C-alpha cells in the first residue's frame, strides 16, 4: 500500500490525546476537504509503496504499544485489514482515524476515531469542479457511521469552522444510534496556533452549553503545522 509517512509522536487529538503513538499515514483519499491539513495524502498523494512486512519492520523501531492508522483515508487501502490484524498479533492497540465513508467490515480496531465531514469541508467548485461534486456526495454516510458505532469502541469527532456548524452536527446525530455526549468531540478548524486560539473560546462555550467534549489539537500547539509530529 502507498504510505505517506510513518512516525512516532504523541496523539494530539481525541480521547487518547497525549498518549505516545506510532502513526501510519496511508496516501490517498476518497474526499478532498477544502481545509485538509495533510494534502500530501489527499489532494496530491505521495509516498512509496510498502508491503505489510516493511511497515511492521518500521513499527518495530519504536517501543510503543499504540498505533494509529490514519490518512488520507486509510480504509481505502486494500491491505489495511491485513496490516491491522498483523499489528494486533504484535500486541498493538489500534486506532483507525477515518471519515467513516467506508464500511468497516471485520477490520481489527480498538478505537474507531470517526470524523464525519461537515459542509464546511467541501471545496468550492472554482477550486475543482469534479472533486467538489464528488466530495459533497460522499462526505456523509449515516448508515456507514452507524455500522462503525455498533461494532467498535468509538469517538465521534467534528471539525468546526463556525457556530453555524452546530445545527448540522445535531441533524447528523439525529440520524445515528444514540451517542453518549462524552464521545462527541468538537475540534476547532485550523492548522496554526493562532487559528485555534481564535476559534477555541467560542467552541468551548458551545461544548459547555451542549455537553459535548472540547477537543484540542496538541500536536499543532506543540509543534506547529509540521509533518512527522
pLDDT in tens, 143-157: 999 999 999 999 999
Q: Which residue has the higher pLDDT, 21 or 223?
A: 21
Q: Do the beta carbons of residue 150 and residue 177 sit within 8 Å?
A: yes
Rounded to the nearest integer, the mean pLDDT of the chain is 96
Stretch 185-200: mean pLDDT: 91
pLDDT band at 222 (very low <50, low <70, confident <90, very high): confident
Tell me how long the chain is: 229
Which CA distances in Å does 21 have to 8, 27, 37, 84, 178?
A: 6, 19, 19, 15, 29
Q: What is the pLDDT of residue 221?
A: 82
Domains of the chain: 3-223 (3.20.20.70)
Stretch 91-98: mean pLDDT: 99
Q: What is the pLDDT of residue 152?
A: 98
pLDDT band at 104 (very low <50, low <70, confident <90, very high): very high
Q: What is the pLDDT of residue 124?
A: 95
The DSSP-derived string for the chain is -BEEEEEEEE--SSTTTT-EEEEEEE---S---TT-S-GGGTTS----B--HHHHHHHHTTS--SEEEEESS-GGG-TTHHHHHHHHHHTT-EEEEEE-S-S--TT---SEEEE----GGGPPPTTT-HHHHHHHHHHS--HHHHHHHHHHS-EEEEEEESSTTHHHHHHHHHTTSS---GGGEEEEE--SSHHHHHHHHHHHHHHHHHH-PEE---HHHHHH-S-TT-
Residue 229 has pLDDT above 80, yes or no: no
Q: What is the pLDDT of residue 112?
A: 99
| Pairing, β 3-10 against β 20-26 | antiparallel
Peptide bond into 72 cis (omega under 30): yes
Which range is most confident: 31-35, 95-99, 194-198? 95-99
pLDDT band at 225 (very low <50, low <70, confident <90, very high): confident
pLDDT in tens, 36-92: 999 999 999 999 999 999 999 999 999 999 999 999 999 999 999 999 999 999 999
Q: What is the pLDDT of residue 194?
A: 87
Amino acid at each position: 500500500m502507498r504510505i505517506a509517512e510513518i512516525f512516532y509522536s504523541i496523539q494530539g487529538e481525541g480521547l487518547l490525546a497525549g498518549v505516545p503513538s506510532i502513526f501510519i499515514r496511508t496516501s490517498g483519499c476518497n474526499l478532498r476537504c477544502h481545509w485538509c491539513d495533510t494534502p500530501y495524502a489527499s489532494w496530491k498523494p505521495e509516498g512509496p509503496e510498502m508491503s505489510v512486512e516493511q511497515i511492521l519492520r518500521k513499527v518495530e523501531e519504536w517501543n510503543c504499544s499504540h498505533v494509529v492508522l490514519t490518512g488520507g483515508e486509510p480504509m481505502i487501502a486494500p491491505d489495511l485489514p491485513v496490516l491491522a490484524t498483523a499489528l494486533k498479533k504484535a500486541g498493538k492497540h489500534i486506532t483507525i482515524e477515518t471519515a467513516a465513508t467506508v464500511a468497516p467490515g471485520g477490520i481489527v480496531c480498538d478505537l474507531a476515531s470517526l470524523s464525519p465531514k461537515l459542509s464546511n469541508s467541501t471545496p468550492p467548485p472554482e477550486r475543482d469542479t469534479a472533486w467538489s461534486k464528488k466530495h459533497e456526495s460522499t462526505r456523509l454516510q449515516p448508515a456507514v457511521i452507524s455500522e462503525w458505532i455498533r461494532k467498535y469502541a468509538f469517538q465521534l469527532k467534528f471539525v468546526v469552522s463556525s457556530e453555524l456548524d452546530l445545527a448540522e452536527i445535531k441533524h447528523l446525530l439525529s440520524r445515528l444510534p444514540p451517542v453518549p455526549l462524552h464521545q462527541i468531540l468538537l475540534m476547532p478548524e485550523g492548522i496554526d496556533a493562532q487559528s485555534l486560539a481564535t476559534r477555541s473560546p467560542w467552541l468551548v462555550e458551545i461544548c459547555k452549553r451542549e455537553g459535548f467534549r472540547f477537543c484540542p489539537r496538541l500536536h499543532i500547539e506543540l509543534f506547529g503545522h509540521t509533518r512527522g509530529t
